[in-house]
Amino acid sequence: MNTGTRSKPAAQARPAESEVAFEPMNHPGHLVRRLHQICVAVFMDAAKNYDLTHVQFAALMAIDHFPDIDQTRVGKIVALDRQTISIVVKRLSEKGLIERRQKDKRTNALHITGAGRALIDVMQARIQDIDDTILGPLTDAEKEVFMALLRKLVDHNNNLSRAPCCAEEQPQRGGEASEGEQEQAQRAAPMPNRAAAASQGKGKKAAAPAARRSRQAVA
């Protein structure tokens, strides 16, 4: 019996063009996040036999370059917050790639081990292939422009990050930086952004649980 009701027509699938043109897809934040996902995937594929993440490799390189450095300074050099660098250092130590030597009651000096040095040598032989894969779609001229613009964005927006990279934290290889080098690093370091810091403080409490999960995944 006809009840007078009509069935709704099946919803038509949106064309691929509409999905690609979806407005958030065209924002720099989304595109940078996607590029970061791609970069991590390429690195993880190259390091899949060594149980090494990209942030662990960055920290390992810093410790190798600056022997006797402490954990806090490593975090500032490679732009990782205190909780994340703590996890990274713990995992590198557990893998036997670094060792911690007590400096004083509160600080450990970090040093590369033979296994850590060997792993760096293995990965450094693969870094060019990783970079070539990521930048493969660009011409040589485009690569130069892209890297220059990328560095400009990162440098100028440094203090908008939750974990800014601190140039003045880089010690002289094999010892402390000279006074001239410290002054040069301080001049090069971006000025603090008070507005950004205040904004970060407001959202920090609400974002804490998600941030902890993110640190565990990244490290």
Question: What CATH class has 27-170?
Answer: mainly alpha
Average pLDDT over residues 16-29: 69
Answer whether 44's CB lies under 8 Å from 51's CB: no
CB contact set of 212 (below 8 Å; sequence gap of 6+): 83
pLDDT band for position 120 (cuts 50, 70, 90): very high
Confidence of residue 194 (pLDDT cuts 50, 70, 90): very low
pTM: 0.68
What is the gyration radius of the CA atoms in the chain, in angstroms? 23
State pLDDT tens for residues 88-98. 999 999 999 99
Q: Describe the strand order of the beta sheet including 98-102 as a list of residue ranges.
A: 69-70, 108-112, 98-102
**Residue 164, phi-psi category: left (phi > 0), alpha (psi -120 to 50), beta (remainder):** beta
Confidence of residue 185 (pLDDT cuts 50, 70, 90): very low
Res 168: pLDDT: 54
